[in-house]
A and B are shown apart, each in its own frame.
Chain A
């Protein structure tokens, strides 16, 4: 019953607040009148009676406010009122509001982006049944805690069958597959998995079934696949009848048995597989099978802990099984241990690296946000000092101290919530940008930076924290009965605080100048890299790759294919040159071999000179635009039966035969066995593994003498890239209609990969630099505005004594610029000091590049000037009469 009465009161207070209020007003007024009458009856004259009544009542508005504070629902209603009022206040000073919201949006947006990274890599659980019970299982070494290796299949079987701590254990392996579908051939990525994989993870199929126990039986007996939901939608148009239909992978027929649920993409956070194939089909997928070799450690293990078993208990038992295995197969398993780690990042050691890296980033953005909050606090303080009259009036008409503090906190919370909302949007936008800028690689890389409830929760918490954080100090000050007196009372303390704030702002200016200069250097370096060049001409050339090994080609058939496709492409209109290479330079493949000149004893171990090596076909150098400085290109006459030949680059030639022509010289190399090679040509130097590398020795073999199972064709042409790629694809189709073509793109697009670190670095450093600059500007503005507000009377007196507005301008600007100049000088010194570290990362730009230094400093100075401008203008508009009256 009382609950019902209370609810009724609550509703009345909420929805007929006006009537409740007039009612109260009448009641208090009638009370006052009755008091007056009482006093008159007691013999007072009317004026005196009224005065005494008022004194006893203590103020109509105050009594009403006290009643309001007692009301049910008052809290909620006052929050609404506070919000309405705060919005009105913020609308009244749009510049302040915009600056505050922008600062917060940037600070919180940066935090949201970095937190999303953490969320993707470390926090977001797998979309499977009880993900917290799943652990990645790697093989370790007794005396090396950081060692991690994948398992061999026989060891996996023994671990799986002998333990009592896991309710299930599965293994998987990443594999490229060539998919032929509706006349299209593509190289796609998938998993080979033990048949219990889906059961261990607790993943139920979206359509059809997952793998059966018998599919773990005989080798190559069950050609079945489960496809990913994304693959099913994209390649099969979401056709439900796909289950039971055949699909051609590596020219063999598999049967689709199921489709995985939409949210499931395996256990690794950066890999998006399209197909799952039972491990027993390894030979069909990889052209060989290492399933029975105990030494073939190539399978990644995952296990599900039994209920009530801790990871430590599980590791202990698995280790004892490992010890048994060490006794049974000492050659292979001696000293083996097992490591259980949270899944998702392939290598357990990668996890600690990711934690360290994202941790450092989190700290950086947290620091930026703290700076932003400090700046906003001084802005709000300046604002509170300007608003002291309003606050005094509100206290005079009955607002209590807590009520005022709450009002000011509402204002700052409102700012931080709006800022956080914008920050979240900004973050989502930046993440989409980041995802789009990841260069395409052959590997099925994915970066799922979703804004899920964890990110939203984190940002909400940040918003509340920052809102209270930067609002508390001004709110506390506002609670003082008279703000101006309060501020003057502890002038010494506030001077000290002012100095602290000035130091902080100076540091911000220094930091942003360092970051801006670093960004400037990176951008300049990017320009230079493009001029410097990789040693080949990336314009007017395109490339595509084929994997003949997956398609079951032997060497003889493959050599014929390479030769025929080269001839056919060269015959197409507009094609100037075409040639093959095993793997394009500046790609992800990194191959080197030992080489030494003939006539010297073979150097041992560390002494062996190492060179980048490749196999190329005739026409490759012309297609890439790499000049041959002497000798000849490979020719069709170089065959397996003719003498072994090689082409070397300038660096190798100079090192082995300084001052001599290398043509006709002979050398040995690590990957061509006993045979000596005769140098037939010398190629211009280039970059092979990264754009920043020092000149590296390189050796090229003819593909006819060192056969690669997959290779990239490079074609130089003036024809439009899309059209040219189309006609080359047609030629591939004529030779082998089932052969997938992958990584078809222009050489310019290929360059995105080696340039990516530089691009990403420029964007990251540049945005941190801009962010720091904006924050520093807000900081300067806040400090100057506060200082002007504090010095209002002083400025008024100066003006009354004859200071012109120009003098006031100069006075304020001088103070502001002192901060900026000191900060910038510190920043420049720091940049020069840091330049030694940075130098190794820059290509072709001096780390003290004057252009970067001058431009960045000018930019910073201009922004700082703008930040000082507004407080200075306010100072000149001080009315001496009003300012002195306030004394």
Chain B
């Protein structure tokens, strides 16, 4: 496992969480593991950052939550994308594309 993963850029965490929820609803741990998976272990989202972000995004209306049963029949809180959340993901993706292109350009130029 990658011991000290890269520090997340402001806003990147939101983007990754939104992305992880595209394929369907997940609980907190599920989101954490999925982010780890889709970033090939580069980003490990700790509960201390995950939960504040989840609750903030829920208050923004990007995701909604409900209580359900986990794969081991344990009660867990699940999150799913809302319509606003999908829109937000599109925008964030575009924005991120622009940023990474610009950064790459900048680094390549010098």
**Among the interface residues B27, B29, B46, which one has the most CB atoms of the partner chain A within 10 A?**
B29
- In the assembled complex, how far is the CB of residue B14 from the closest CB belonging to chain A, in whole angstroms? 12
Q: Which of B48, B59, B76 contacts A9 (CB 8 A)?
A: B59
A67 touches B84 (CB 8 A): no
B59 touches A6 (CB 8 A): yes
- In the assembled complex, how far is the CB of residue B45 from the closest CB belonging to chain A, in whole angstroms? 11
Q: Which of A23, A28, A58, A70 contacts B56 (CB 8 A)?
A: A70
Q: Does chain B have a CB within 8 A of A448?
A: no
B52 touches A66 (CB 8 A): yes
B29 touches A67 (CB 8 A): no
A63 touches B48 (CB 8 A): yes
Question: Which B-chain residue is minimally distant from A58 (CB atoms)?
Answer: B48
A66 touches B74 (CB 8 A): no
Contacts of B61 in A (CB 8 A): 1-2, 5-6
Produce 1/0 per residue, A16-57, CB < 8 A to B: 000000011011101101110110000000000000000011
Within 8 A of A (CB), among B33-73: 46-49, 51-53, 55-56, 58-61, 70, 72
Contacts of B55 in A (CB 8 A): 24, 67, 70-71
The 4 A-B residue pairs whose C-beta atoms are closest, nearest first, are: A5-B61, A9-B59, A70-B52, A27-B77
How many contacts between A and B, using CB within 8 angstroms?
A: 75
Q: Does chain B have a CB within 8 A of A667?
A: no
A294 to B64, CA, bound (A): 88
A6 touches B60 (CB 8 A): yes
B28 touches A27 (CB 8 A): yes
A56 to B75, CA, bound (A): 20
Interface of B is mostly: helix
Question: Which A-chain residue is minimally distant from B52 (CB atoms)?
Answer: A70
Q: A1-B61, A1-B84, A30-B74 are in contact. Are A66 and B48 (CB under 8 A)?
A: yes
A70 to B56, CA, bound (A): 6
Contacts of A70 in B (CB 8 A): 52-53, 55-56
A671 to B59, CA, bound (A): 92
Number of contact residues on B: which range applies? Answer: 20 to 34
Contacts of B70 in A (CB 8 A): 30, 34
A67 touches B74 (CB 8 A): no
A30 touches B75 (CB 8 A): yes
A731 to B27, CA, bound (A): 102
Q: Given A27-B77, A34-B70, A58-B46, list of 15 further CB < 8 A pairs?
A: A1-B61, A6-B60, A6-B61, A26-B75, A30-B77, A33-B74, A34-B74, A37-B74, A62-B48, A63-B51, A66-B48, A67-B52, A67-B55, A71-B56, A71-B59
Contacts of A452 in B (CB 8 A): none
A24 to B67, CA, bound (A): 12
B46 touches A5 (CB 8 A): no
Contacts of B46 in A (CB 8 A): 56, 58
- In the assembled complex, how far is the CB of residue A422 from the closest CB belonging to chain B, in whole angstroms? 40
Contacts of A33 in B (CB 8 A): 74
Question: Which B-chain residue is minimally distant from A33 (CB atoms)?
Answer: B74
Q: Does chain B have a CB within 8 A of A69?
A: yes
**Among the interface residues A1, A27, A38, which one has the most CB atoms of the partner chain B within 10 A?**
A27
Q: Does chain B have a CB within 8 A of A72?
A: yes
A67 touches B60 (CB 8 A): no
Contacts of A31 in B (CB 8 A): 27-29, 47, 51, 76
Contacts of B59 in A (CB 8 A): 5-6, 9, 71-72
Contacts of A66 in B (CB 8 A): 48-49, 51-52
Contacts of B49 in A (CB 8 A): 66
A58 to B51, CA, bound (A): 12
Contacts of B72 in A (CB 8 A): 34, 37
Contacts of B74 in A (CB 8 A): 30, 33-34, 37
Q: Which A residues are within 8 Å of any B CB, using their own CB?
A: 1-2, 5-6, 9, 23-24, 26-28, 30-31, 33-35, 37-38, 56-58, 62-63, 66-67, 69-72
Q: Which B residues are within 8 Å of any A CB, using their own CB?
A: 27-29, 46-49, 51-53, 55-56, 58-61, 70, 72, 74-77, 84
A26 to B74, CA, bound (A): 11
**Among the interface residues A37, A38, A58, A70, which one has the most CB atoms of the partner chain B within 10 A?**
A70
Q: Which of B27, B52, B53, B56 contacts A34 (CB 8 A)?
A: B27
5 CB < 8 A contacts A-B: A1-B84, A24-B51, A30-B77, A34-B76, A63-B47
A24 to B72, CA, bound (A): 20
Q: Which of A1, A26, A34, A72 contacts B29 (CB 8 A)?
A: A34
Question: Which A-chain residue is minimally distant from B54 (CB atoms)?
Answer: A67
B47 touches A58 (CB 8 A): yes
Question: Which A-chain residue is minimally distant from B57 (CB atoms)?
Answer: A70
A33 to B29, CA, bound (A): 10
B75 touches A67 (CB 8 A): no
A835 to B47, CA, bound (A): 74
Contacts of B58 in A (CB 8 A): 9
A5 to B84, CA, bound (A): 11
Question: Which A-chain residue is minimally distant from B49 (CB atoms)?
Answer: A66
Q: Which of B47, B51, B52 contacts A56 (CB 8 A)?
A: B47
A38 to B56, CA, bound (A): 27
A555 to B56, CA, bound (A): 94
Contacts of A58 in B (CB 8 A): 46-48
Contacts of B52 in A (CB 8 A): 66-67, 69-70
- In the assembled complex, how far is the CB of residue B29 from the closest CB belonging to chain A, in whole angstroms? 5
A2 touches B60 (CB 8 A): yes
A6 to B49, CA, bound (A): 21
Contacts of B56 in A (CB 8 A): 70-71
Q: Which of B27, B47, B53 contacts A57 (CB 8 A)?
A: B47
A63 to B28, CA, bound (A): 13
A35 touches B29 (CB 8 A): yes
A35 to B84, CA, bound (A): 30
Contacts of A38 in B (CB 8 A): 29
A27 to B47, CA, bound (A): 11
Question: Which A-chain residue is minimally distant from B55 (CB atoms)?
Answer: A67
- In the assembled complex, how far is the CB of residue B1 from the closest CB belonging to chain A, in whole angstroms? 11
Contacts of A69 in B (CB 8 A): 52
A820 to B28, CA, bound (A): 65
- In the assembled complex, how far is the CB of residue A554 from the closest CB belonging to chain B, in whole angstroms? 92
- In the assembled complex, how far is the CB of residue A593 from the closest CB belonging to chain B, in whole angstroms? 88
A537 to B32, CA, bound (A): 98
- In the assembled complex, how far is the CB of residue A449 from the closest CB belonging to chain B, in whole angstroms? 50
A5 touches B60 (CB 8 A): yes
A9 to B53, CA, bound (A): 15
A71 to B61, CA, bound (A): 13
Q: A5-B61, A67-B52 are in contact. Are A30 and B47 (CB under 8 A)?
A: no
- In the assembled complex, how far is the CB of residue A123 from the closest CB belonging to chain B, in whole angstroms? 46
Contacts of A24 in B (CB 8 A): 51, 55
- In the assembled complex, how far is the CB of residue A46 from the closest CB belonging to chain B, in whole angstroms? 15
- In the assembled complex, how far is the CB of residue B58 from the closest CB belonging to chain A, in whole angstroms? 7
Contacts of B48 in A (CB 8 A): 57-58, 62-63, 66
